[in-house]
Amino acid sequence: MSAIRVNRLSKEFVGSAVALDEVSFDVAAGEFVSLLGPSGCGKTTMLRCIAGLELPDGGEIEVSGKVVYSTLGAKRILLPPEKRALSMVFQQYALWPHMNVFDNVAFGLTMRRASKSETEAKVRRALESVELWHVRDRKISALSGGQQQRIALARAIAFDPDVILFDEPLSNLDANLRESMRLQLIELQQELGFAALYVTHDQAEAMSLSDRILVLNGGCVEQAAAPQEIWNNPASSFVAQFVGSSNMYVGEVRANSGGTAVIALESGLDVVQQNCSAKVGDKVDVFIRFNDLAVTRERPGTDNVWEASIFLVSYEGHESVLKLRTAEGMELVAVVPSAAGFSRDERVFVSTAADGVRSFVTGESRTPPADAELPVESAAAP
């Protein structure tokens, strides 16, 4: 049984570009799935439709095996949020300032008419799991942002929900706190075993938290796969652009023998790519990650080597970002260990192996979602 099943869900907004277009996916029990995408891709809308906070235009949503919304069956189904047996952590935390910490966390249990002793025990367990039992009598306004974040988390888990929705819960924290909260969240999810659907625009967050990532773009799923797969084999130009920081060029395939292709870039330089599926003559978008470029003083023996001069060095501690320009005018960005000690105006060799290059046929950025095998007809309307 899936924790969440979304089937051909559509939602349009009047006067807005955001629209969910027959999106389908599911989240297995105990699975951690992220909806990743830029702002306006529809990910928050999707989450709010599942929570019952927004009304979709059509499709079907199941939570823990129960249909909570459907226009596909004979009877239209729409359950209010409180009947959906799920929990949610809000971006702005939405902790009620007129209740103290304990009452906030106890709310879900109170609504489920839990006994006093059960409420006490579960609130305690939830607050202890975020190490904040000692602030239970405080007012919400007396807490720091990080503490509020953890209280919001405790409130969401207190009544043992099987499904928890997360709406960019870490986006209001500063970088250090975000990092530690991420780890705490994974630990909590592994311990309690709830299924999580997590909305974020932060790829690092999605990567580190998720069993599976759904990359959303313009209301459609661009790729649904494990983080490693998304990282290593982005399915589309959009995913390649969104995940990891890359140099992007436009080119045309000149030759392709058994997947090893030569692509002529606009700058006039050639680049060799392995596992290329584009045909000769195809216009392609070419991506090379900043980290996949090596910068050396000696000419290396890899497939793609360009001579370039460094025109900008930006020191970032352990690593430095270099901007380079070849004689032909092609610009590259590379991230190298600071220890290499490159300086401005140095002439160097920039290189990458053929498997560090990715290309996608221009304009064909959208690929069918990986989990399109859902039995879509199951609940189809007559």
Asked if 91 is part of the footprint of another protein (rule: CB under 8 A), the reply reads: yes
Residues 6+ apart with CB under 8 A from 117: none
Stretch that binds another protein, among 83-91, 116-124, 222-230, 343-351 (CB under 8 A): 83-91
**Binding another protein by CB under 8 A: which of 28, 29, 53, 376?**
53
Asked if 58 is part of the footprint of another protein (rule: CB under 8 A), the reply reads: no
Residues 6+ apart with CB under 8 A from 373: none
**Binding another protein by CB under 8 A: which of 74, 75, 80, 258?**
80
CB of 91 or CB of 274, closer to another protein: 91
Stretch that binds another protein, among 20-28, 73-81, 221-229, 301-309 (CB under 8 A): 73-81
To another protein, the closest distance from the beta carbon of 141 in angstroms equals 13
Residue 259 is classified by DSSP as T
For another protein (CB under 8 A), the number of binding residues is 62
To another protein, the closest distance from the beta carbon of 76 in angstroms equals 12
Q: Is the dihedral of CA 269, 274, 279, 285 positive or negative?
A: negative
Q: How far apart are CA 225 and CA 240, in angstroms?
A: 14
Stretch that binds another protein, among 2-10, 307-315, 325-333, 366-374 (CB under 8 A): 325-333
Asked if 71 is part of the footprint of another protein (rule: CB under 8 A), the reply reads: no
How distant, in Å, are the alpha carbons of 36, 89, 214, 240 from that of 197? Answer: 11, 10, 10, 23
CB of 145 or CB of 341, closer to another protein: 145
> CA angle, 214 as apex, 209 and 217 as ends, to 5°?
130
Q: Which residues pair with 213 in a beta bridge?
A: 34, 225
CB of 73 or CB of 376, closer to another protein: 73
Q: Which residues pair with 200 in a beta bridge?
A: 36
Asked if 52 is part of the footprint of another protein (rule: CB under 8 A), the reply reads: yes
Q: Which amino acid is residue 155, in one-letter code?
A: R
Asked if 179 is part of the footprint of another protein (rule: CB under 8 A), the reply reads: no
Q: How far apart are CA 67 and CA 79, in angstroms?
A: 8
CB of 191 or CB of 266, closer to another protein: 266
Asked if 370 is part of the footprint of another protein (rule: CB under 8 A), the reply reads: no
State the distance between the two ends of the chain, measured CA to CA, in whole angstroms: 25
CB of 112 or CB of 297, closer to another protein: 112
CB of 138 or CB of 323, closer to another protein: 323
**Binding another protein by CB under 8 A: which of 3, 216, 278, 330?**
330
* Phi, psi (deg, nearest 5) at residue 322: -115, 140
Asked if 144 is part of the footprint of another protein (rule: CB under 8 A), the reply reads: no
CB 151 within 8 A of CB 104: yes
**Binding another protein by CB under 8 A: which of 1, 22, 65, 92?**
92
CB 182 within 8 A of CB 168: no
Stretch that binds another protein, among 195-203, 211-219, 226-234, 252-260 (CB under 8 A): 195-203
Question: Which ranges of the chain would DSSP assign to H, the alpha helix?
Answer: 43-51, 101-111, 116-129, 145-157, 175-192, 203-209, 227-232, 237-242
Residues 6+ apart with CB under 8 A from 323: 310, 311, 312, 331, 332, 333
Stretch that binds another protein, among 143-151, 222-230, 244-252, 347-355 (CB under 8 A): 244-252
Stretch that binds another protein, among 213-221, 295-303, 324-332, 361-369 (CB under 8 A): 324-332
To another protein, the closest distance from the beta carbon of 11 in angstroms equals 9
**Binding another protein by CB under 8 A: which of 66, 76, 112, 347?**
112
For 162, other C-beta atoms within 10 Å of its C-beta total 19
* Phi, psi (deg, nearest 5) at residue 183: -65, -40
Which residue in the block uniquely carries the two structure tokens 């009544």?
A: 159
Q: Is the dihedral of CA 205, 208, 209, 213 positive or negative?
A: positive
Note the residues at the interface with another protein (CB under 8 A): 13-14, 16, 18, 38-40, 44-45, 48, 51-55, 78, 80-82, 84, 86-88, 90-92, 94-98, 107-108, 111-112, 155-156, 159, 165, 168, 171-172, 201-204, 241-242, 245-249, 265-267, 287, 329-333
